């Protein structure tokens, strides 16, 4: 784990990417597991956030359950990459934006409280850039939990679980938005969240537990920046497979060591035929290509047309938009 040599901090970053205690004093519970004080846990997390190794302690939500999102891409001319990336990044609903090796070179995730909000975001980006935007809508996820082992003996990523969207209540949206932005690094973070929403701590804890049990909160814990921790090679591999074969191959691919995300998306006829997407996060390009070579040797994927799109630069990485942002008072 690059830049982190202390074994306690390594464990804090590796073992608490999920299953964060939903308790009035979660950092106290973590401190008991690590054998250090509650304040030491908080200070270590603050330091890792200040150095850019983590973005927050917070939540990621199951996609397209209580909000909307899509993967999108534009083909920006080389001399306009920075300009177009700035147009994309200026949108509040864009939470990830990357430059990748391909003619379709700027890739981003547009999020919002509903599909109409996402559509407006894509339309504005197209109008302001003068470029076509590919809207690659999610069909089904096979693994969307980006938590993964940072140490050789760390815990592996978890496969996505079934989501019960019926548990969601309308007043859960502000809680989810606050969690995607991140909990306060204080001894009573859920109390701080509750105070900000003018709710009781117990009611917030009850709803966070219910949303987590239902799979609406896909992961609650430390959100790391992989590059800052030495995982600098990021390849999105797209596969040209018919929908019916993905039913079998998708779960198989998601379960392979080294595959950190896997999902099916809608193609764009005549432009982008790829339906199955997988992510590889590795320390080096050679390591990532080794994973890809091993995956391609699977009988089900032998000779399947595919493209590895390596990331060249990260322009934006933040939490998703779940609720409409509050408008400033005039």
Neighbouring C-beta atoms of residue 290, cutoff 10 Å: 14
Instruction: Decide if 310 contacts 101 (C-beta within 8 A).
Output: yes
pLDDT tens per residue across span 264-314:
999 999 999 999 999 998 889 999 999 999 999 999 999 999 999 999 999
Instruction: Decide if 49 contacts 183 (C-beta within 8 A).
Output: no
Structure tokens at 163: 């989501």
Instruction: Decide if 234 contacts 228 (C-beta within 8 A).
Output: no
Instruction: Decide if 42 contacts 184 (C-beta within 8 A).
Output: no
pLDDT tens per residue across span 203-235:
999 999 999 999 999 899 999 888 778 778 999
Neighbouring C-beta atoms of residue 45, cutoff 10 Å: 23
268 has which bridge partners?
272
- Average pLDDT taken over every residue of the chain: 91
Instruction: Decide if 215 contacts 163 (C-beta within 8 A).
Output: yes
- What pTM did the predictor assign? 0.87
Instruction: Decide if 241 contacts 304 (C-beta within 8 A).
Output: yes
Structure tokens at 223: 């959100």
Give, in order, the Cα–Cα distances in Å from 252 to each of 46, 142, 276: 38, 9, 12
Q: Is the pLDDT of residue 253 over 60?
A: yes
Neighbouring C-beta atoms of residue 272, cutoff 10 Å: 16
Q: For the chain, where are the alpha helices, taking DSSP H only?
A: 7-15, 26-34, 38-50, 81-89, 115-129, 173-181, 189-196, 201-213, 243-254, 285-296
308 has which bridge partners?
237
pLDDT tens per residue across span 160-202:
568 899 999 989 999 999 999 999 999 999 999 999 999 999 9
pLDDT at 200 (0 to 100) = 98
pLDDT at 17 (0 to 100) = 92
Q: What are phi and psi of 82, to 5 degrees?
A: -65, -40
pLDDT at 330 (0 to 100) = 42
Kindly report the three-state secondary structure assignment for every residue of 195-247. HHCCCCHHHHHHHHHHHHHCCCEEEEEEEECCHHHCCCEEEEEEECCCHHHHH
Instruction: Decide if 309 contacts 101 (C-beta within 8 A).
Output: yes
The residue-averaged pLDDT of 55-60 equals 94
**Helix, strand or coil, per DSSP, at residue 71:** strand
- What percentage of the chain has pLDDT greater than the value 90? 77
pLDDT at 144 (0 to 100) = 64
Q: Which residues of 223-246 are buried (b: 16+ CB within 10 A; e: fewer)?
A: bbbbbbbebbbbbbbbbebeeeeb
pLDDT at 106 (0 to 100) = 98
Q: Which residues of 302-316 are buried (b: 16+ CB within 10 A; e: fewer)?
A: eeeebebbbbeeebb
Q: Is the pLDDT of residue 100 over 90?
A: yes
CA distance 271 to 264: 17
Q: Is the pLDDT of residue 86 over 60?
A: yes
């Amino acid at each position: 784990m690059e830049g982190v040599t202390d074994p306690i901090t390594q464990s804090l970053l590796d073992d608490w990417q999920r299953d964060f205690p939903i308790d009035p004093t979660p950092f106290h519970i973590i401190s008991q597991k690590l054998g250090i004080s509650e304040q030491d846990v908080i200070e270590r997390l603050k330091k890792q956030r200040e150095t850019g190794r983590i973005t927050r302690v917070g939540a990621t939500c199951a996609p397209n359950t209580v909000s909307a999102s899509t993967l999108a891409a534009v083909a920006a001319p080389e001399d306009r990459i920075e300009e177009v990336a700035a147009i994309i990044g200026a949108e509040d609903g864009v939470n990830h934006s990357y430059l990748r090796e391909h003619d379709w070179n700027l890739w981003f995730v547009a999020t919002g409280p509903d599909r109409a909000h996402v559509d407006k975001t894509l339309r504005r980006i197209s109008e302001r850039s003068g470029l076509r935007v590919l809207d690659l809508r999610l069909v089904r996820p096979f693994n969307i939990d980006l938590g993964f082992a940072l140490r050789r003996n760390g815990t592996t990523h978890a496969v996505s679980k079934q989501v019960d969207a019926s548990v969601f209540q309308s007043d859960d949206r502000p809680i989810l938005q606050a969690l995607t932005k991140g909990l306060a690094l204080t001894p009573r973070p859920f109390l701080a969240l509750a105070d900000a929403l003018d709710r009781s701590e117990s009611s917030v804890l009850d709803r966070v537990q219910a949303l987590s049990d239902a799979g609406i909160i896909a992961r609650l814990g430390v959100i790391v920046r992989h590059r800052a921790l030495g995982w600098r090679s990021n390849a999105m591999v797209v596969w040209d497979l018919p929908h019916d074969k993905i039913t079998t191959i998708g779960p198989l691919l998601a379960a392979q060591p080294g595959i950190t995300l896997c999902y099916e998306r809608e193609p764009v006829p005549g432009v982008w035929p790829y339906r199955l997407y997988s992510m590889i996060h590795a320390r080096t390009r050679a390591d990532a290509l080794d994973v890809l070579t091993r995956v391609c040797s699977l009988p089900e994927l032998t000779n399947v047309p595919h493209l590895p799109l390596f990331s060249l630069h990260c322009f934006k990485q933040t939490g998703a938009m779940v609720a409409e942002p509050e408008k400033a008072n005039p």
